Amino acid sequence: PSFLSYVTGVSMDELSAGTRAARSRVLGHSIAFFIGFSSIYVSLGLAASALGSFFFSSRGWLPVVGGIFIILMGLSLLGVVRLPFLMRERRIHLASRPEGYLGSVLVGLTYAAGWTPCVGPILGAVVALAMNRPGEGAILLFAYSVGFALPFVLLAYALGSVRALARYSVWVERVGGG
């Protein structure tokens, strides 16, 4: 709930009240947040496709390296292998969050650019796949963004507590790794 409040700019009291006006504001800001982080991920997909196209003559080894990387990311999510460089996060702590929908877009941009512990293994696997599918990177990373955003936007609209989901987060991570 506190993360939802920060991302959307809606106070905890408004979130708790769950009024129609609060739901509309939360939904609008959640979509703006989605636009922010999606633009980073789609750009990453375009770059991965371009890089894959550049190495097109190396098609013999690129899929093998990508496959090994995807397996390594799955093992990381399963907890078999821990990769410390993927478990770090870099945050910029602002005194206050930027206002309005533009603020939510900016929060989404910075979130996508700096929060690898939540997204690192899966994002890395999708980027590896995008490198092996020239021309499809933006589509793959957009689908990743939608998959990432949909539960967030639904929770934001429902204004429900995410505490119930916290109990299952380890299993969600394991299933994702599998």
Q: If you average pLDDT over residues 58-70, what whole number do you get?
A: 74
Reading phi first (left if > 0) and then psi (alpha if -120 to 50, else beta), residue 14 is in: alpha
User: pLDDT for 155-171, tens place per residue?
Assistant: 766 654 445 556 666 77
Distance CA(105)–CA(108), nearest Å, equals: 5
Distance CA(155)–CA(15), nearest Å, equals: 11
User: pLDDT for 72-96, tens place per residue?
Assistant: 878 887 888 887 766 666 655 656 6
User: pLDDT for 34-43, tens place per residue?
Assistant: 899 899 888 8
Would the CA dihedral through 33, 131, 116, 76 be positive or negative?
A: positive
Distance CA(17)–CA(131), nearest Å, equals: 46
pLDDT computed for residue 117 by the predictor: 54
pLDDT computed for residue 14 by the predictor: 74
What rounded mean pLDDT belongs to the chain?
75
pTM: 0.64
